[in-house]
Amino acid sequence: MAELFYEKDADLSIIQGRKVAVIGYGSQGHAHALSLRDSGVDVRVGLQEGSKSKAKAEEQGLRVVSVAQAAEEADVIMILTPDPIQAKVYEESVKDHLKDGDALFFGHGFNVRYGFIKPPANVDVALVAPKGPGHLVRRQYEEGRGVPCIAAVEQDYTGNAFALALSYAAGIGGTRAGVIKTTFTEETETDLFGEQAVLCGGASALVKAGFEVLTEAGYQPEIAYFECLHELKLIVDLMYEGGLEKMRWSVSETAEWGDYITGPRIITDATKAEMKKVLAEIQDGTFAETWMAEYQAGLPKYNEYKKADEEHLLETTGKKLRKLMSWVSDEEK
Ligand code: NDP
Ligand code: MG
Ligand code: MG
Q: Which ligand is nearest to the CA of 252?
A: 3
Instruction: Name the CA radius of gyration of the chain, rounded.
Output: 22
| Residues whose CB is less than 8 angstroms from the CB of residue 181 and which lie 6 or more positions away in sequence, other chains included | 2, 3, 4, 5, 150, 151, 152, 162
Cα-to-centroid distance, 192 and ligand 2 (Å)? 6
Q: For residue 150, give the amino acid letter.
A: I
Q: Which ligand is nearest to the CA of 230?
A: 3
Does residue 27 have its Cβ closer than 6 Å to ligand 1?
A: yes
What pLDDT tens digit does each residue of the chain (333 aa) get? 899 999 999 999 999 999 999 999 999 999 999 999 999 999 999 999 999 999 999 999 999 999 999 999 999 999 999 999 999 999 999 999 999 999 999 999 999 999 999 999 999 999 999 999 999 999 999 999 999 999 999 999 999 999 999 999 999 999 999 999 999 999 999 999 999 999 999 999 999 999 999 999 999 999 999 999 999 999 999 999 999 999 999 999 999 999 999 999 999 999 999 999 999 999 999 999 999 999 999 999 999 999 999 999 999 999 999 999 988 866 544
Return the pLDDT at 237.
Answer: 98
ipTM over 0.95: yes
Degrees to nearest 5, angle at CA 289 with 283 and 291: 105
Q: How far is CA 218 from the centre of its chain?
A: 38
For 1, 34, 102, 129, 245, the CA distances from 66, given in Å and listed in that order, are: 42, 18, 18, 24, 50
Q: How far is CA 136 from the centre of its chain?
A: 12
Which amino acids are annotated as binding site for Mg(2+), given as ranges? 191, 195, 227, 231
Helices marked H in 114-199 — which ranges?
A: 134-142, 161-171, 174-177, 184-193
Nearest Cα neighbor of 221 from 208, 203, 235, 205 is 208
Return the pLDDT at 329.
Answer: 64
Q: Which three-class secondary structure state does DSSP give residue 77?
A: strand
Secondary structure letter of residue 53 according to DSSP: T
